[in-house]
Structure 1
Amino acid sequence: MVRRLTAALAAGILTVVAATAVMAQADVVKERQTLLKQFGDLTKPVGGMLRGSTPFDLATVQAALDAYVKNAKVLPTLFPEGSDSDPDTEALPAIWTNKADFDARFAKLGTDAAAARAAITDEASFKANFPAVVRNCGGCHDNYRQKN
């Protein structure tokens, strides 16, 4: 009787642990998707400024750069092993097979964004410095994100 109870309790604990791990993976996927969507939302108006279709606004540019710097530090931690199994993720398995490169790309994004934040003071310096920052995004998307 005690053995059965112990076995049942152990099975129950394992089920809870497994379910918690699955939920944690789903949460981490949602969290990284939220931060990456924020990148996109912040980049759209800045992209318009680069193309000349939107008037230059230093505060908008600075807000985007501040978010890049902040989130570039957080995002690599939101791609733990096993989080590629979520059906809602667009992350490619290459992230986990080449994690050092993936993490280095976020570090470079953060460094480039911080340098651009310090250098951009007007429209001319924006047009000279911002393109290097957003090239980081394309390089990562090309290698580590599913094409839609």
Structure 2
Amino acid sequence: MSNGSDIRHGRHCIFLMHVHLIFVTRYRREVFTKEILDDLRPMFASVCTDFEAELVEFDGEDDHVHLLVNYPPKVAVSTLVNSLKGVSSRMIRKKNYPSIRRKLWGGALWSPSYFAGSCGGAPIAVIRQYIEQQQTPH
């Protein structure tokens, strides 16, 4: 997967699916530094690879992160999110960052909720118009 916008092929399908994910820290605590965000990127990329997905883009602020993931249709977004949050939480906690140790306790890095938005391709209005213009057989 060299380019995040390439159409991909599965055994029985052709697809181009992207999801925009946002994960927020537990209690919206401001714990991330540039160093922690730099450590999170390869962790997220590795989990995506395990799911035959691709981390197209990643960045964040001190209390949340944004991911743009290109994923195959056989992957449930909720399963991908579970793995991304679980693996990253365990690995970041092992590194024992002082900002996280000071502000978070109880073994949770992430809030249990998340945002997932489908994105990519044509806007919904264009797709709706295309479908409406189909030649219905008489």
TM-score, normalised on structure 1? Answer: 0.25
> Which structure shows the higher strand fraction?
2
Query: Which structure has the greater CA radius of gyration?
Result: 1
> Which structure shows the higher helix fraction?
1
Q: Which has the higher contact order (CA 8 A, sep 6+)?
A: 2
TM-score, normalised on structure 2? Answer: 0.26
